[in-house]
Structures are given as C-alpha cells and as structure tokens.
C-alpha cells in the first residue's frame, strides 16, 4: 500500500482556506486544485509499505504527547522547475518538527530511515498541469489553527487523482 503520515488540519482552517482560495479557483481554472478532503500537512512519505508494520511503530513514537500542533498558514510557494506544486506554509509550533523527526525512525519502502531531504511543512493547494504557466499568487492569507490528530493514510493513484483512506489515527 502507498502510505504517508499526515497532520490533519482543523475543520475551521480548512473552511478558511476554502474561502480564501475560492476566487483563485475561478481565476485559475487550469490548475488542478486539491480537493478539500485532501488538504493536510505530510509529515513523512513512506511509499509502498505494509500498514501492519507501520502502525506499531507509530504507536511506539508517543506522537499523542506532541498534539495539538499550532500553526499559522501565511506563506505561499511552489516546488519544481518549472513549478508543479503550489503550497501554503507558515509558522508551526516546535512539536511539528519533533513529530517529523520521530517519524524518520519508520522505514520507508526502501528500508531507509532518517531525513530524506529538507523538511518543509506545507499544505499542497494546487498542482500545475503540464503546459500551464504557474501563476504568482498573492499571499494575502493568515489562517491559524491547531491540528489535533496525525493520520496514517493510504493513497491510491487513479486517473482522476489520488484517493485517500485513513488507516490509523493518533489524537
């Protein structure tokens, strides 16, 4: 199963984000906007792993003691050259970084543990389709919230986009 560990955004934060991006969805219809139900902060991508192996490791990491994770989403950026992902980031309580560090102890699909690259906490809000120019979006946003749960999520890739299923929750 294709798995990742994600911090679940608060319901109020998701509603505020949807209100903020509503005019952008109309203005930039060629972007592939992330569905409301798929907005999250990825803490660790594991790839093709067995959840029966991952869940006991998550339980052993004492993630519950790091919740809630407070955040303010106020920055906008992109990944790739040319950009293919548009994301929101901002300020996060130190517990988010502690959580991400603990999760590095869970082996990914290649058996690797430890940091696999610079951790940039972010919420993917849109993907840039091939052949579409990435717009410069105004970061006039400040969404505050507190994440109350961490999820182990299965991602099934389909022709219409990924389908997510939560397999395990720490709250």
pLDDT tens sequence across 50-96: 999 999 999 999 999 999 999 999 999 999 888 899 999 999 999 99
- The CATH number assigned to the domain holding 50 equals 3.90.1140.10
Name the stretches of the chain with pLDDT < 50: none
pLDDT of res. 102: 96
Domain containing residue 126: 2-170
Q: Distance between CA atoms of 13 and 42, rounded to whole angstroms?
A: 16
Number of domains in the chain: 1
List strands edge to edge, sheet with 143-147.
32-33, 123-127, 85-92, 69-79, 143-147
pLDDT of amino acid 63 = 98
* pTM of the shown model: 0.92
pLDDT number for residue 116? 67
């Amino acid at each position: 199963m294709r798995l990742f560990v994600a911090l679940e955004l608060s319901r109020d934060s998701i509603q505020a984000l949807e209100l903020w991006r509503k005019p952008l969805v109309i203005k930039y219809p060629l972007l592939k906007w992330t569905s409301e139900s798929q907005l999250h902060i990825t803490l660790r991508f594991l790839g093709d792993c067995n959840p029966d192996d991952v869940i006991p490791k998550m339980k052993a990491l004492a993630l519950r003691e790091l919740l809630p994770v407070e955040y303010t989403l106020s920055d906008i950026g992109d990944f790739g050259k040319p950009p293919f992902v548009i994301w929101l980031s901002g300020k996060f309580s130190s517990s988010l970084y502690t959580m991400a560090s603990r999760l590095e102890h869970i082996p990914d699909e290649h058996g690797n543990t430890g940091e696999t690259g610079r951790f940039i906490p972010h919420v993917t809000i849109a993907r840039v389709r091939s052949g579409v120019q990435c717009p410069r979006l105004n970061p006039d946003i400040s969404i505050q919230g507190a994440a109350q749960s961490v999820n182990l999520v299965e991602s099934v890739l389909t022709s219409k986009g990924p389908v997510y299923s939560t397999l395990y929750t720490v709250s």
